Amino acid sequence: MSAACGCEHEPEARPDEEAEEAERPWWRDRGIMVPVFSAVAFLAGLVVEWTVGEPAETASLVLFWVALLLGASTFVPGAIRKVLKGKLGISLLMTISAVGAVILGYVEEAAALAFLYSIAEALEDKAMDRARGGLRALLKLVPETATVRRGGAAVEVAAKDLQVGQLMLVRPGERVATDGVIRSGRSSLDTSAITGESIPVEVEPGDAVSAGAINTAGALEVETTAAGTDNSLTTIVELVEQAQTEKGDRARLADRIARPLVPGVLILAILVAIIGSILGEPHLWITRALVVLVAASPCALAISVPLTVVAAIGSASKFGVIIKSGAVFERFGVIRHVAVDKTGTLTRNQPVVTAVLTADGVTESEALAWAAALEQHSTHPLAAAITAAAPGAAAAEDVTEQAGHGIEGILDGARITVGSPRWLDAEGLGDQVAALEEQGMTVVIVHRDGEPVAAIGVRDELRPEVPEVVRTLAAQGIRVTMLTGDNARTARALAAQAGIDDVRVELRPEDKAAAIGELGENRSVAMIGDGINDAPALAAADIGIAMGATGSDAAIESADVAFTGHDLRLLPRAFDHARRGRHIINQNIILSLLIITALLPLALFGVLGLAAVVLVHEIAEVVVILNGLRAARTRA
């Protein structure tokens, strides 16, 4: 039984032992087979008792004792160890009930209690294993071996032995063994098992790759940037394991109820036995005290929340959402407002040329080639967009750059100048330039020998899924606010495309945090971002969400949730998953409390005997376990 249920296991197994146990067939698993043999012995005892009758009373009694001892072996040792440490657990209630029943001559009822309780324990353990199964599966995405270049030769090594700075060869069809940067080769990577993104990602030299991705096309040489045992995939697993051990508000609520309930039930049972014995018929009231002891056991309550949280967090990791704790998971389910950073979250953070205006007699390709001739000398973010739009452009000579204004140089004997409309006159293109700026573009003016010949519009384009995501969030009752340090014109143009009507612009990091505080005054608010400047706002929000593996370390550390991919459609899916898990948690808590409330008076006044109470209690526990496992299912 889990610690949450007040019972005690052997010391935690190491990950490799857990994996070995998970792969063991059920018929070789002692945790399953002992309760099964207990059940077989008990049912055999019933069959003998009902079919043969009094002549076989000894045989049926022996079978009941076998069932009792086998079932009790799964929880009595843990109960004793816990008592020796000064702790009371639910297994202690079951132990006392079984011993008391035997003393009073109810061996059959004691056997029923033992085998049903042991089966409930086995089901819970297997449920926890199933809930963690997806997490162990993530580690299997890393191959056991990798090929590295050593002195010009390809050498196969164990993936766990990879070190930073090695050159790794990844052939078509192979998985990437650890994080790295492509040094040669072009291909497409299938990252669906890690990020949840179904479309393969095109990669080329300079691109980062993550452990577990599948190389689907050409051979790649990848320089490792992480050790084989400490990469993005192992970090994901570590975060989820931490999350599964940290309890949420409802988990703590269940603990708070269960903790005093165990000694309270013991005291109540003692009082029932003493007062009833004083009033007469001690045998009857001691029996009822034992039944009360079992009826008020909060086992279903204690396991209901942790099991659901483990299942839900583990399944969220399968579609690319890493939730750092049970408390975060529960808060996630009540979010009603999301603040979103613009650059790199709503947009691709990859400015591209989206419009080219030219004067008479000048073609778009000429304008782009002239601008690229200069911009290839610049490190400005817009320069990369322009040079990418005109690959192979000749380089200008005598290039000089004036920070904040532009750049100029000589190309084929002509002086080319490229810069901001605030520095260079657009003349006849002025009205069109203003229209581009209204669409959220940053415009660059191109002069040739002092005459304006072109205007180039560059924009960090909105991610294609953003409008759909905003509509889906609205349908879920979640409002969206854009927070950005960008200027009002650009921000409002992109917000209009996205369908966002609440836009806060020209914000510094501290301004974003203040905006989160304002938005969170009346409702729970989440913040999603990916940069260092988002860290204060991520920390200030009820839920901070870091976007993608390329997010800054500061953003990821400040966040409560991390997306392994960059598809924003993960956001409404994650909210839906958290809300569903929260509903399941509430169902389990209510069901558990109703069972205790209903059984206690029925046991106290003798309406239900020990066997009936045990059966109802353990059936309820099985129902709670099966209901909690529903949180492991994910909706596409």
Give the active site residues: 341
DSSP assignments along 318-343, one per residue: HTTEEE--HHHHHHHTT--EEEEEII
Strands (E), 159-315: 167-170, 180-184, 187-190, 201-203, 208-209, 214-215, 220-224
Q: H-helix or E-strand containing 459? A: strand 451-459
Look-up: residue for tokens 């948690």?
Answer: 585
Q: H-helix or E-strand containing 1? A: none
Strands (E), 468-590: 479-483, 502-504, 525-529, 543-547, 561-563
State the angle between helix axes of 299-318 and 570-604 in degrees (0 to 180), rounded to the nearest 10. 170
Which letter does DSSP use for residue 9 in this model? P
Q: Which amino acid, residue 533?
A: N
Which letter does DSSP use for residue 463 in this model? P
Q: Which residues contact 144 (CB under 8 A, 6 or more apart)?
A: 158, 159
Q: Which residues contact 409 (CB under 8 A, 6 or more apart)?
A: 373, 374, 377, 396, 397, 398, 399, 400, 415, 416
Q: In what order do the strands lie in the sheet with 502-504?
A: 321-323, 561-563, 543-547, 525-529, 337-341, 479-483, 502-504
Give the distance between the most distant pair of CA atoms in the chain.
Answer: 117
% helix / strand / coil in the chain, to the nearest 5? 55, 20, 30
d(CA 111, CA 453): 93
Count of helices and strands (H, E) across the chain: 22, 22
Helix/strand/coil (H, E, C) string of 576-607? HHHHHHHHHHHHHHHHHHHHHHHHHHHHHCCC
